[in-house]
């Protein structure tokens, strides 16, 4: 029996691909033991047990960014985290470690190396995190989601995606999706969303009482499915063809209905949209180290998407760039075809193949 230890967490961007790979390993071999390593503070503390996996804990030890008291305490705290992971590896007879980035991954890579256990690295973002930069140096395999990701000895494997996305037949589910959101299946749909918390810039450009570009979408003969985020107070004008939802727990149905998407450019978002062959307009989140713009870069280069900087995304910019695209069937068709060159639904299988290679060595 093989024992796998999957390390990662903190955000959905780390947890979701981890769970996709865990599900694939368990489906392939129900006798295998699939364990997850994470912290008590991250999303994994809730999502992993909900999915039926045992979660082993390691202390959260952020890398110091400046010389201060936390930096002085870092070496001792990091050594303790490594020791915690080595204890898990020894006690559970771990055969291979797979890291997806985040606080749990760095000590997992070091502990695996010291224990003589092979480990594999998967990086979701086009700009890698520090844990994966360090882990890639000695990993048995390094997989990245996007071409050009600067990790040593890496190869493009794509993003491990949720099962409901991988298996989605958009045309077969369109009528069901339209009924779910109260829209008409025979009229095109623009999907606008910014993640579970929404995106203020997108809401202000399209929303009632702000940029009100929703009116232009409807006037162009399209329908608008607008996911505003749970914290949004955007008003719903109750207009035909404009469906406003604060939260959507069936994004597979939203994708099934979408003929064009305007969204942020998180790694999972870009990967799912590209895999499904949906043309997109990305508005990268401006906070952080610029990884969202990099995530979208390969889709933009391929002609599958447009990119509009966050600071420039207004109702007027929607009217000048997005609305003409709604009327340009030929251009959207070309964008759909281009998405096939950058998207893949086989990311999970590719990561599992890397794991098998590491074990075979």
Q: Three-state SS for 355? A: helix
Residue 188: both structure tokens together: 């095109």
Question: pLDDT tens digit string along 292-336?
Answer: 999 999 999 999 999 999 999 999 999 999 999 999 999 999 999
Which tokens belong to 168? 């989605």
Confidence (pLDDT) at 319: 97
Structure tokens at 7: 């390390």
Bridge partners of 5, per DSSP, are: 35, 97
C-alpha angle 167/169/172, rounded to 5°?
A: 145
CB-based contacts of 260: which residues, under 8 Å, 6+ apart?
188, 189, 190, 191, 278, 279, 280, 281, 322, 325, 326, 332
Burial of 213 per CB tally in 10 Å (0-12, 13-18, 19+) = buried
CA–CA separation, 40 and 116 (whole Å): 27
Per-residue model confidence as pLDDT tens for the chain (361 residues): 999 999 998 887 889 999 999 999 999 999 999 999 999 998 899 999 999 999 999 999 877 777 777 777 778 999 999 999 999 999 999 999 999 998 999 999 999 999 999 999 999 999 999 999 999 999 999 999 999 999 989 999 999 999 999 999 999 999 999 999 999 999 999 999 987 666 899 999 999 888 899 999 999 999 999 999 888 888 899 999 999 999 898 999 999 999 999 999 999 999 999 999 999 999 999 877 788 999 999 999 999 999 999 999 999 999 999 999 999 999 999 999 998 788 999 999 999 999 999 999 8
β strands within 50-204, DSSP E: 54-57, 96-99, 119-123, 141-144, 154-156, 189-193
251-261 burial string, b = 16+ CB within 10 Å, else e? Answer: bbbbbbbbbbb
Report the distance separating Cα 65 and Cα 62, nearest Å. Answer: 9
Q: What is the pLDDT of residues 130-160, one digit of tens each?
A: 999 999 999 999 999 999 999 989 999 999 9
Number of Cβ within 10 Å of residue 225's Cβ equals 25
- Domain annotation for the chain: domains and CATH numbers: 3-161+345-360 (3.40.50.2000), 164-342 (3.40.50.2000)
Instruction: Confirm whether pTM is higher than 0.85.
Output: yes
**Does residue 262 come out as left (phi exceeding 0), alpha (psi in the -120 to 50 range) or beta?**
beta
Task: Choose among 338, 9, 286, 275: nearest CA to 145.
Answer: 275
What is the phi/psi pair of residue 34, to 5°? -110, 110
């Amino acid at each position: 029996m093989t024992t796998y230890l999957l390390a990662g967490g903190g955000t959905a961007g780390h947890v979701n691909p981890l769970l996709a790979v865990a599900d694939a390993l368990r489906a392939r071999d129900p006798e295998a033991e699939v364990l997850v390593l994470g912290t008590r503070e991250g999303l994994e503390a809730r999502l992993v047990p909900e999915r039926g996996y045992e979660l082993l804990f390691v202390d959260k030890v952020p890398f110091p960014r400046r010389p201060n008291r936390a930096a002085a305490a870092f070496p001792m705290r990091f050594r303790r985290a490594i020791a915690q992971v080595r204890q898990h590896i020894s006690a559970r007879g771990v055969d291979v470690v797979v890291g997806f980035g985040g606080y749990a991954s760095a000590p997992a890579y070091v502990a695996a190396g010291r224990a003589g256990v092979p480990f594999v690295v998967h990086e979701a973002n086009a700009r890698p995190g520090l844990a994966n930069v360090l882990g890639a140096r000695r990993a048995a395999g390094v997989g990245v989601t996007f071409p050009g990701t600067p990790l040593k000895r890496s190869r493009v494997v794509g993003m491990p995606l949720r099962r409901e996305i991988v298996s989605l037949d958009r045309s077969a589910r369109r009528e069901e999706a339209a009924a779910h959101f109260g829209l008409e299946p025979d009229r095109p749909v623009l999907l606008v969303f910014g993640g579970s918390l929404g995106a203020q810039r997108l809401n202000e450009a399209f929303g009632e009482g702000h940029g009100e570009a929703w009116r232009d979408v409807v006037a162009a003969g399209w329908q608008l499915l607008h996911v505003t985020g749970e914290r949004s107070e955007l008003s719903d004008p109750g207009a035909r063809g404009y469906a406003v939802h604060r939260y959507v727990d069936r994004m597979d149905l939203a994708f099934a209905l979408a003929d064009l998407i305007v969204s942020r450019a998180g790694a999972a978002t870009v990967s799912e949209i590209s895999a499904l062959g949906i043309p997109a307009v990305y508005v990268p989140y401006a906070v952080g180290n610029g990884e969202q713009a990099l995530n979208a870069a390969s889709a933009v280069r391929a002609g599958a998407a447009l990119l509009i900087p966050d600071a420039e995304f207004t109702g007027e910019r929607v009217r000048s760039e997005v609305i003409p695209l709604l009327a340009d069937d030929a251009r959207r068709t070309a964008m759909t075809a281009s998405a096939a060159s950058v998207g893949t639904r086989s990311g999970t299988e590719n990561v599992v193949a890397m794991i098998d290679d590491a074990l075979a060595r």
